[in-house]
Structure 1
Amino acid sequence: MLHKNTLLFAAFSAALWCGISPLAQAEIVTSIKPLGFIASAVADGVTKTAVLLPDGASEHDYALRPSDIKRLQNAELVIWTGPEMEAFMIRPVARLPAQKKLALVTLDTVKPLLIKGDAAGDREHGHDHEKSDADHHHGDYNMHLWLSPEIARLSAVAIHQKLVELMPENKNKLDANLQRFEAELAKSDRMLANKLSPLKGKGYYVFHDAYGYYEQHFGLTPLGHFTVNPEIQPGAQRLHEIRTQLVEHKAVCVFAEPQFRPAVIEAVARGTRVRMGTLDPLGTAIPLGKDSYTQFLTQLAHQYASCLKGE
């Protein structure tokens, strides 16, 4: 009878575990994928990292499901940018104990590196968007912090500190992971600086004002941005305004993002000599792993170079 009960218990346990997704078991949950890149490098071989936001969803207007709430409650550590970026996380994160959450924008080391957003600049240029571009900033600063290699390094240091507090028995492995991340980041940074250096002075436009940290770090030369809502086809007058600015400013490229429909990009560039490119600020196709953040930075560099060089 004891053997039978043991078998029944084992079968019941297996059924329970099979019904739980890998994300539900994850000990670190990040709001968006690039933060998962950083966390997975620090936690490699120690604990799992998972991403809350599904590929293709927007961090600006995502609505949490009940299963997401459970994932946040069960996480060992929750990492997010902050309330100005992921408003959907404000309430559930507020209920978590302080040792189990980390908002990157609140780090004392990060605050001095914040750069101003350009929502005000949009309004000055008469860009009345269907969805307010202030949704991307919710304040004075650009919140796309993961696009700064230096902020990514400081974030890794903070994540490491949190994990050492939570898992002191893994301190040696976490120390080694952080050292490796910093070394690989420095090596990648030098390589990408060399790759992007010849592109300085080549003007371009982006649709989404997300790349300021990356552009500032590598000395790129954006001429402006058009925050066209990908869900709504711009009218003829708006497309004419954009085309006129592209020609007047002698732009080499205009960059979209994966969620923008190609028809919008083609309509903007038609009748100009401007090349079309794509930038992915979330690293959608990159899997989590110890090298994923440097892969993300490298992918962006290739995306800039392929259009600006005309490759």
Structure 2
Amino acid sequence: MSAVKFIALLLLACVYTSHVSATPRVVASIAPVHSLVASVMRGVAEPELLVSAGSSPHAFALAPSDMRALYDADLIVWVGRPLERFLVKSLHTIGNPGAQVAVAELPGMDLLKLRRDGVESGGGFVESRATRGADPHLWLDPRNARLIVTYVARRLAALDARNAQQYAVNARATIARLNDLDARIERQLAPVRHLPFVVFHDAYQYFERRYGLNTAAVIQSDPEASPGARWILDVREAIETEQVRCVFAEPQLNSALVNTVLEDSGARRGSLDPEGADIASGPEGYFILMQRLADSLHGCLAKP
């Protein structure tokens, strides 16, 4: 091959590489956030998911390949300190805070405080004396999801002007779908919103508030620690006094505790998953997750 041809091919390769790398490299921490980002990027590129479906962000550890993805990313979208503690030190090490988006800190994000997941004698929760920070499960309110979509679309357009119009079109379509989903779930759950139920851990506060649901107790107040005997007795008492119809387990967590609180109670067993452990990653994931939550709640609570 002549030197002239070699140089020409090299220049062509450089042009091609520059064109390909113009598309932002995006990393999203957990599946629900990844799904919303993927919806905005549909038809342009696919974001990388850090915490794979079925893994818990409470116990996740970064692999070397994860660190490389974070170093190479043009945009990192995560919930924030309350959820992905494993990311805090790594993101500080990487630097470049302008590439990092903690959605819990977005202007206008509607956050709820963490609850001390106790049960009052009259039912309901007792607020923590000291603020323990924000409840990180903010994606379970579609209004917060809309805010994430809007902000991510703007950031992507700033990074990738060539595809800015596509990001805007995708964002509008995603927000329209979120509005439809929100209205549909509200109608679906209206007949059961007053009926008390018990959940495995306190991950559903945003969903409860949005749709007016009635959680009577939580089995495991801390996802990283097992409850004591006194706590389990309090939950069993709440099931009896509140006439709880359903106790919801979670696929990633200890189902033996659910069996313990259900024993001789007459309540039914259901399943809820705030992160979609068995849902394929991608633009549809968020919508499937939210609809499954609504279907599971309605399916169990609506039975006489």
State the TM-score bracket (shorter-chain normalisation).
Answer: 0.7 to 0.9
Aligned to 1:32: 30
- Which residue is 1:249 aligned to? 242
Map of 1:150 onto structure 2: 143
Q: Deviations over 1:1-34 (max 9, x none)?
A: 78xxx9xxxxxxxxxxxxxxxxxx9922111111
Give how far 1:124 is off.
Answer: 8.8
List 4+ stretches of structure 1 deviating above 3 A. Answer: 121-125, 228-241
What is the rounded CA distance, in whole Å, between the counterparts of 2:280 and 2:53 in structure 1?
A: 11
2:241 and 2:276 map into 1 onto residues whose CA distance is: 32
Q: Give me the whole-angstrom Cα distance separating, in 2, the residues matched to 1:124 and 1:195.
A: 29
SS in 2 for 1:46: coil
Q: Which amino acid aligns with 2:276?
A: G
Q: Judging changes above 3 Å, is the alpha-carbon distance between structure 1 residues 292 and 58 closer, same or farther for their aligned structure 2 residues? A: closer
Give the gaps of 5 or more residues in structure 2: 7-22, 122-127
Give distance in 1, aligned partners of 2:207 and 2:226.
28
Q: Alignment identity in percent?
A: 30
- The corresponding residue for 1:224 is 217
Determine the C-alpha separation between the residues in 1 that align with 2:65 and 2:86: 14
Q: CA deviation at 1:230?
A: 7.5
Letter paired with 1:157: T
User: How many residues of Structure 1 are paired with residues of Structure 2 in the alignment?
Assistant: 277
- Is the partner of 1:290 in helix, strand or coil? coil
Rounded to whole Å, the distance in 1 between the matches of 2:283 and 2:218 is 33
1:92 shift after superposition:
2.2
TM-score, normalised by the number of residues in structure 2? 0.83
Aligned mate of 1:299, from 281, 292, 296? 292
Taking the TM superposition and a 5 Å limit, the aligned residue runs for 1:78-93 are 78-93=76-91
- The amino acid of 2:114's aligned partner reads G
Distance 1:170 1:266 in 2: 52
Letter in 2 for 1:97: N
Q: How does 1:270-285 map to 2 (within 5 A)?
A: 270-285=263-278
Aligned to 1:107: 106
Give the drift of 1:231.
Answer: 8.4
SS at match of 2:220: coil
Which consecutive residues of structure 1, in runs of 5 or more, have no partner in the other structure?
Answer: 7-24, 126-133
Give the CA deviation at 1:58. 2.0
Q: Normalising by structure 1, what TM-score?
A: 0.81
- Report the secondary structure of 2:194's partner residue: coil
Q: 1:107-156 deviations in whole A, cap 9, x for unaligned?
A: 1111xx1112103x54999xxxxxxxx9xx98332111111111110011
* Paired residues of 1:44 and 1:289 also in contact (CA < 8 A): no
The equivalent residue for 2:68 is 70
